Structure 1
Amino acid sequence: MNQHKYLYFTLFFLIYIVTIALNTSLITVVYKKKTLHEPMHIFILAWLFPFCSFAMYLSLTLRLTLCGNNIYKTHCTNFDLIKLSCHDTSVNNIVGILLLGVYMFPQFFVILFSYAQILRICLHASKECRKKALQTCIPHLLTFINYFFAGCFELIQCT
């Protein structure tokens, strides 16, 4: 892994640059095309909110002085960087937990609510409809729950 770190960095940096370029081009198209202004306000706001919160959290991390340089994982998270700091990181931890709550938990509950509504409707549908819905929904729901709890355990390990 260590011998390919520059290749991995370059690959993911290029993906990041392409993502930024595509988002910028989307914003530019919406800005120039007047008919897209009204329906796209929500998307621009949704794009700006994570960008601003990321910038705020990044500025909190950049102010820290690092005392170490070893991260014993295959990937680097912001929490891992914060743990390398010599200074008090309680502000970073509080803001990180708040942002986590703002981003993760509402999405989790909306998705669970959506699946509950689908399953509720299926109870009143035909047997074949219930079977198809369950064959589709249960694997998606189990995968999503697995992903959510894996993310939670990753965060618990970081603290």
Structure 2
Amino acid sequence: MENVSAVTSFILTAYTELEDHRYLYFICFLILYILTLLVNLVLIVVTCTEKGLHEPMYLFICNLSVNEVCGSTVLLPSMLSHLLSHNYEISLSFCLLEIYCLMSYALVEFTILAVMSYDRYVAICRPLHYHLLMSPRKVTAAIVLSWVVPSLFFALYFILTLQPSFCDRYIERIYCMNFELVKLSCFDTTIIRFVGPVLIIVCPSPQIVMILFSYAQILRICLSASKESQAKALQTCTPHLLSVINFSVGCLFEVIQSRFNMSHVPQKARIFLSLYILIIPPLFNPLIYGISIQAIKVQIFKLLSSKKRSETNAW
């Protein structure tokens, strides 16, 4: 057992599973990170520069992309560095920062998705009151709260569960997670192990209720609507539903790995499942919205074509 006072850094042992093909993994994750940045930044730039996209739905999508860039940037550059350096050690301070940023990313992501579901409910079920219920002031408040409340909530939980002393320094993951540090703590963690699952249920409950309520109302309206209205509602809701399902699957993978014994699953499979939430939603969400939503697709084509014309004129 390590000297308690000496544990000021941790070893991320999961990286040893990637050693045989580290350069191949490095290239793959680098390409994924560049693509993630590219597709999200294009969506952010288009939304910010085009006044026609300064509507609630597009502003929520823009904030979703900003959060996804932040979430990917917290982990992937660090991961690429570990793969190249053969050094799998991470300091306690950086480990704590990584935990806070990654968990905040997940909570903010789910909150924005919940707010987007409410926006779709108002647009489909109460169209005559849309501009009243989704006024610029209310949209701004919703965006601010989507960022602030989840971050503050996790900060309080993080402070309550954080233990200053650890009896071991080996983390069987590719990045730091709060429950992994709890398991290494030298103190009695019985209460923390009880509080953790409770908060996992309580924390996303308002968002889950909002999403279920919104889509229950949308379904109720669609069942009595014309086929044309049903098709329009389906077209409007499909990108958001795909985003919710995609992100929920990633969260489920993470919760299962953190709370249950997964020793029967190959280590490499566990590594890639743990990366799902930080790679798949940030990469595919902007593609889903960019392809599915006509207004965004048109503006992206305009942006790309104007750049191509300017390059041609320069020659």
TM-score range, shorter chain: 0.5 to 0.7
The equivalent residue for 1:61 is 161
Q: Counterparts of 1:70-85 in structure 2 under 5 Å? A: 70-85=170-185
The equivalent residue for 1:138 is 238
Q: Is residue 2:218 matched to residue 1:118?
A: yes
**Cα distance in 1 between the residues matched to 2:188 and 2:247:** 31
RMSD value, Cα: 3.5
TM-superposed CA distance for 1:78, in Å, is 0.6
Gaps of 5+ in 1: 17-35
1:112-133 deviations in Å (ceiling 9; x for gaps): 2201111211122221110121
Q: Is residue 2:254 matched to residue 1:154?
A: yes
The equivalent residue for 1:32 is none
TM-superposed CA distance for 1:50, in Å, is 5.8
**Cα distance in 2 between the residues matched to 1:55 and 1:105:** 18
The equivalent residue for 2:76 is none
**Cα distance in 1 between the residues matched to 2:236 and 2:150:** 32
Higher relative contact order (CA 8 A, sep 6+): 2
Q: Counterparts of 1:3-82 in structure 2 under 5 Å? A: 3=85, 47=148, 51=152, 53-82=153-182
CA contact (8 A) 2:165 2:185 kept: yes
CA contact (8 A) 1:115 1:141 kept: no
Change (3 A) 1:102 1:65: same
How high is the TM-score relative to the length of structure 1?
0.61
Change (3 A) 1:86 1:146: same
TM-superposed CA distance for 1:49, in Å, is 8.2
CA contact (8 A) 1:119 1:133 kept: no
TM-superposed CA distance for 1:110, in Å, is 1.8
The equivalent residue for 1:128 is 228
The equivalent residue for 1:101 is 201
Q: Which amino acid aligns with 1:128?
A: E
How many residue pairs end up in the alignment? Answer: 129
The equivalent residue for 1:30 is none
Q: Which amino acid aligns with 1:130?
A: Q
Change (3 A) 1:124 1:145: same
Task: Decide which moves more: 114-123 or 65-74.
Answer: 65-74
The equivalent residue for 2:19 is none
Q: Which amino acid aligns with 1:116?
A: A
The equivalent residue for 1:27 is none
Change (3 A) 1:111 1:134: same
TM-superposed CA distance for 1:64, in Å, is 4.9
1:64-115 deviations in Å (ceiling 9; x for gaps): 5212222232322211111222332121122222222221123112202201
The equivalent residue for 1:25 is none
